[in-house]
Amino acid sequence: MANSDYKTIVKDGLWDNNGVFSMLLGMCPAMAMTTSATNGFGMGLATAVVMAASSWLVAIFRNRITTEVRIPVYILIVAAMVTVVDLGMNAWMHELYKVLGLFIPLIVSNCLPLARLEAFAAKQPPVSALLDGLFMGLGFTIALTAIGAVREIIGSGTLFADASLLLGPTFKVIEMRLLPADMGVLMMILPPGGFIVTGLLVVVKRLLDLRAGKEIQMTGAHAV
């Protein structure tokens, strides 16, 4: 269990204990929402907001919530935060809502927020919990954007298409076409592509970790 050292929390969330690539949690949105990098990014950010808010609330009330009723209370808190995000996005970020609206309610059934509440927020002071929720959510965003980018490049030949709908017209410049329109491999945008790309990226992360880990082990062995 991570201690409340803030740096560890940040590193755990973003990379070491990444929700998608290490814990393999939240697979449903990770595959369903990543037909493009922009969609993955938007879904990730929405999840991060919900996770930060619910982790913080759970940590505040952690001494009030008895063990017996903790699960319904956690679900209540996550569901309430999801509804707040859902309504707020519908009202003030409507273009994005039209893209992601269908999937926002699914955050309730994403096991990543619940897992973090149970494993971390329930035992930590509010600031640590808020950080953990936020950075776990941002790690989730990175993972979803990466999966979405790979699928979009191979599947449709574009990268960050429609990003201006999500982030505003200034981001028109990051919308790229890397391959001609008819060269896309359709399968990558369909569900099998989600499984294939997620699997491959998990392998990539393990390989990177392994390489880093080996060096650490080797230096450790030399030191001894």
Residues forming the site for other proteins (CB under 8 A) = 35, 61, 64-69, 72-73, 76-77, 80, 83-84, 87-88, 90-92, 94, 98, 115, 118-119, 155-156, 184, 186, 189-190
Q: Min. distance of Cβ 172 from other proteins in angstroms?
A: 16
Residue type, 19: G
Smallest gap from residue 79 Cβ to other proteins (A):
8
Contact indicator for 2, 8 with CB cutoff of 8 Å: yes
Which of residues 72 and 213 has its CB atom nearest to other proteins in the complex?
A: 72
Within a 13 Å sphere around the CA of 95, how many CA atoms are in the beta-carbon half? 9
Q: Smaller CB distance to other proteins: residue 137 or 155?
A: 155
Q: In the bound complex, what is the minimum distance in angstroms from residue 115's beta carbon to other proteins?
A: 7
**Closer to other proteins by Cβ: residue 72 or 168:** 72
Please say which residue, 90 or 109, places its beta carbon nearer to other proteins. Answer: 90
For residues 86 and 142, which CB has a smaller minimum distance to other proteins in the complex?
86
Minimum Å gap between C-beta 221 and other proteins is: 30
Give the nearest distance from C-beta 192 to other proteins in angstroms: 12
